[in-house]
A and B are shown apart, each in its own frame.
Chain A
Amino acid sequence: MLNLIKRLIISHSYIANYGYTDGSGDWYIIVDSDKCDGCGKCVDVCPVNVLEVITDDYDDLVVSIRAEHKKSIKYDCGPCIPVSGERDCKCEQVCEPGAIKHSW
């Protein structure tokens, strides 16, 4: 209950786009900080350890991309999002509030 009050009154929510645009397109992981409660299930289920939970500028726990993956996310997410074949994006599947999405 306190968490809910905190989220309504104190915390600040925003949409974060982590990733990059280059010659081949836009490659972003989109996090809705309003929906994300920092539970960390996506961090645990990611087969390539791309994600981490951080404390943001507004002192909330939220998921983000690890710095070393920020500029190679298109490739790093390859195992779950292959060029052709079945999309099997584990972080999106495990997130109940639907806080995390890929732009591709």
Chain B
Amino acid sequence: MTTEYWRWTESRWTSPDIDWKKADIITAGVDIGSVSSQTVVMCDGELYCYSNMRTGSDSPDSARRATDWALEGTGMKIEDIHYIIGTGYGRVNVPFAHRSITEIACHARGANFMYGPTVKTVLDMGGQDCKAIKCDERGKVTTFLMNDKCAAGTGRGMEVFANLLAIPINDVGELSLSVEAEPEPVSSTCVIFAKSEATGLLRQGWAKNKVLAAYCSAMAHRVYTLLVRIDVEKDFGITGGIAKNIGVVSRLEKELGLKALPAKYDTQIAGGIGAALFAKALVEKSRKAA
């Protein structure tokens, strides 16, 4: 059985402080990405429980599994949730969702929740895409750019390198920072070509951490070029899996001359949080109208 170096840790969490049965409005966001899926359940706009797992080959099935896992041990059933919004690449494939909203809007809203109203620039590096979003103090999108054509600057790109170097993806960031001096970055524009470059460098005797550093540097630069297109304004927050990669984040911060806000939540659930909050707003609107 070959070790799967790309395999990041799947997780779930339930709030120890909230009794969902006492909640007035229970909403959920189901974010089905091409690589990872999250279901986030909120009680009155507070984070109650969530799950974060690898998307399977079937989107509706992933939606159900992510939701079942999020609710595991809580006693809550899907029917107890007042409004469910699907988002992400597979958002049209969440059969039990009441509505779908684009991941751009959900990530902005989610980042606003996670980082507070001062966050103006959000970078989301997903499994197969990269989003640069500007938002206002309410978490509404004011500018956005999404690149999902090219693997450079996405989680998949990083997974390719983790596999190439046989290093577990959770360790990539730290290891890339353990170099004595910053090497020249590899070709930042194509993961396939960067991979051949890296193979050549390994043959020349480069240590793994040096190759990783070269790649993290290239990825940080690629992401930087996307961010400058939308004119970066502080505060800056990062969502998605790559926020957990200190090797890319620290290099990006250096190039931007701006530090990212520290994350107090799992950065991969931003889309789900945004969707759950949109759901809450819709429930409130409909109750007011009634």
Contact = CB atoms under 8 A, between A and B. Distances in A.
A and B touch in the complex (CB under 8 A): yes
Interface of A: 12-17, 20-23, 26, 28, 56-58, 70-71, 103
A17 B101 contact: no
A28 B146 CA distance: 10
B189 A12 contact: no
Nearest to B138: A12
Interface residues on B, range: 20 to 34
B208 interface: no
Interface in B177-217: 189-190, 193
B150 A14 contact: no
A71 B145 contact: no
B226 interface: yes
Nearest to A57: B105
Given A12-B140, A22-B189, A23-B190, A57 B148 contact: no
Nearest to A16: B144
Given A12-B140, A14-B143, A15-B143, A20 B149 contact: yes
A71 B150 CA distance: 9
A15 B141 CA distance: 8
B193 to A, nearest CB: 8
B15 interface: no
Interface string B109-146: 00000000000000000000000000000001111111
B56 to A, nearest CB: 23
A13 B104 CA distance: 14
A20 B147 contact: yes
Contacts, number: 57
B225 interface: yes
Nearest to A103: B229
A14 B142 contact: yes
Given A17-B229, A17-B230, A57-B101, A23 B144 contact: no
A56 B148 CA distance: 19
Give the secondary structure class of B's interface: mixed
A70 B150 CA distance: 12
Contacts of A16: 143-144
A17 B145 contact: yes
Contacts of A15: 142-144, 230
A48 B141 CA distance: 29
Contacts of B152: 22-23
B102 interface: yes
Nearest to A18: B146
Given A26-B229, A57-B101, A57-B105, A21 B147 contact: yes
Which of B104, B144, B147, B225 has the most CB atoms of chain A within a 10 A radius of its CB? Answer: B147
Most buried by B among A15, A20, A21, A23: A21
A26 B149 CA distance: 11
A28 B145 contact: yes
24 contacts: A13-B142, A14-B142, A14-B143, A15-B143, A15-B230, A16-B143, A16-B144, A17-B144, A17-B145, A17-B229, A20-B150, A22-B150, A22-B189, A22-B190, A23-B150, A23-B189, A26-B229, A28-B229, A57-B101, A57-B104, A57-B141, A58-B105, A58-B140, A70-B149
Contacts of A56: 102
Nearest to B226: A21
